[in-house]
Chain A
Amino acid sequence: GDQVEQSPSALSLHEGTGSALRCNFTTTMRAVQWFQQNSRGSLINLFYLASGTKENGRLKSTFNSKESYSTLHIRDAQLEDSGTYFCAANTGYQNFYFGKGTSLTVIP
């Protein structure tokens, strides 16, 4: 089964509003990364967390290894935030496990 369950699969936000994306893990993960895939298809690193919370501008991410989840909060959404957001987590061995992504559309 999938080690990473990402939700929601799709999300629409009006400009200026915010929301949270979530990844739940079915096994203990050591670290998590969040990426934005933009309209050109590039995967942009947003956050890497081994624990706790990080913030960068209008984005904030939290990773709780003990409770097996991570969140990505977007506030004051802008049109350029549109894209697909992926979380990827690893157990410390070999592969990263990717969520299936959240497709975010920011509406003017």
Chain B
Amino acid sequence: DMKVTQMPRYLIKRMGENVLLECGQDMSHETMYWYRQDPGLGLQLIYISYDVDSNSEGDIPKGYRVSRKKREHFSLILDSAKTNQTSVYFCASSLWDNTEVFFGKGTRLTVV
């Protein structure tokens, strides 16, 4: 079953705390993505990973970092979370040639 799995689905953190969002896929996709979605702004790319330890900044990388130590896992880390990082975060994956992309169900992060 082709799937992108995100954990957790909901998260509340205090400002200044560290946040770890996890993403897994079972399709052996080389490319993985982290997006955030905010009302009126659509989906914005935070980071893209082309394979293990091959990561590139997207359009809004500031305040985020990523880790990809296994092809099937891609983590998004917020060091010292800020209230403006409250958002819905989506992970996605695709084959190396950026063909069809598949999304996880999202993580709703609230930073208070």
Interface of A toward B, CB cutoff 8 Å: 31, 33, 35, 40-43, 45, 48, 86, 88, 90, 92-96, 98-101
Contact = CB atoms under 8 A, between A and B. Distances in A.
Contacts, number: 47
A95 B42 contact: no
B97 interface: yes
Given A41-B88, A45-B103, A100-B41, 18 more contacts: A31-B99, A35-B103, A40-B105, A42-B105, A42-B106, A43-B90, A43-B106, A45-B100, A48-B99, A48-B100, A86-B42, A88-B43, A88-B101, A93-B98, A94-B48, A94-B98, A96-B101, A101-B42
Interface in B78-112: 88, 90, 97-103, 105-106, 108
A43 B103 contact: yes
A45 B42 CA distance: 16
Given A94-B98, A99-B42, A41 B105 contact: yes
Interface of B: 33, 40-43, 45, 48, 56, 58-59, 88, 90, 97-103, 105-106, 108
Contacts of A86: 42-43
